Amino acid sequence: MEYTILIKQNPQSGWFIGQCEEIPEAITQGKDMDELMFMMEDAIELALECRRDELRETFSDSNTIVRKLTIGNEKKFIDQAFGQRELHTV
């Protein structure tokens, strides 16, 4: 997956501040560009983990269907409902 990072440099400290355009809650900083991008990877992973936890809590009943989707040259999704799995290729 590719993400767009919006970056500004603080004129007083010289540190770089970044925010992920696709995941606005992923915000971090670094003393240089390499550190910023390393920290941004962690910020994105943590933000996605928080989103997953919130969704799982919202959709925690037995009527929930879980579907995985892979986007690329070949699109596939897996249905998981009531213990059954089916693979579909589009």
Averages of pLDDT over each 10 residues, the chain, 90 residues: 94 97 96 96 95 85 78 54 48
CA distances from 18 to 8, 49, 51 (A): 7, 19, 19
pLDDT at residue number 72: 65
CA distances from 23 to 5, 13, 39, 78 (A): 9, 25, 14, 25
| Cα distance between residue 18 and residue 33, in whole Å | 10
pTM of full prediction above 0.75: no
| Cα distance between residue 69 and residue 51, in whole Å | 17
- Within 8 A by CB and 6+ apart from 27, the residues are 17, 18, 19, 20, 43
pLDDT at residue number 75: 47
Give Cα 16 to chain centroid, integer Å.
Answer: 21
Tokens of 44: 């994105």
pLDDT at residue number 73: 57
